[in-house]
Amino acid sequence: MVMARKFGSDLSGTTMVEMAIAMPLLLTLLLGFVDFGYAFYQWNAGNKAVQAGARLAQISTPVAIGLPSEALTQSDVTKVGTAVPAGTYDYLCTASAAGVACCSIGGGLCKPENANQAAFDAIYDGTAHRAGMLDFLPMLEKSQVRIEYAASGLGYWTRPEGPVPTITVSITNHPFQFFFLAGFLGFGTITMPSMLSTVTGEDMKSTYTP
């Protein structure tokens, strides 16, 4: 009976047991902060990437080869400054998993012959003077980039040497892989929310090199 009382009142080792219970919870919480902090960093980097891509698309040769043909000739001065009706044109340019650019016109098939590969690569990789989308988000794939040139009812029909579209550069289906929580809790890869930046195009001069 005496031995039983001593065993029941013996508190040696309780600290070790409490630590064994609390440590996994504390470690999971700490590593969770690290993982979600890195996810927020990637999301922020993605937003910077679309802003840089939109700026490059705004000032350089259009990816959509047919876009310059949407402009009136400069000799037609009576129409300069006329607002563009929404839906007049809509070019959506993307890339395959292999990085081959293509553009669809008005929701049609995405065809490589409608796209300027060098212009798409310049927005993705950057130029000699400007950082591209890849510089801000190194794990970005070309197939996750979308570049749209559309007449939205804003802007003007033409300025000297080219059309002025509304340009939207976005990133879609960009994955995020948990590092620590994948091992602890079995979290898998998630798809980050789509990120986009919309700007009004400047003079889309085909001979301009940023």
Q: What is the pLDDT of residues 26-72, one digit of tens each?
A: 777 777 778 788 888 888 999 999 999 999 998 888 999 988 777 54
Inside any domain, residue 154: yes
| For helices 117-125 and 14-59, angle between their N-to-C axes, nearest 10 degrees | 140
Inside any domain, residue 3: no
Inside any domain, residue 7: no
Inside any domain, residue 69: yes
How many domains, the chain? 1
CA distance 200 to 181: 41
What tens digit of pLDDT does each residue of 129-165 get?
889 999 999 999 999 999 999 987 765 554 545 567 8
Inside any domain, residue 207: no
Query: Containing domain of residue 112, as a range?
Result: 14-200
Could you tell me the pTM of the whole model? 0.76
Inside any domain, residue 115: yes
By CB atoms closer than 10 A (0-12, 13-18, 19+), residue 59 is middle
CA distance 45 to 25: 30
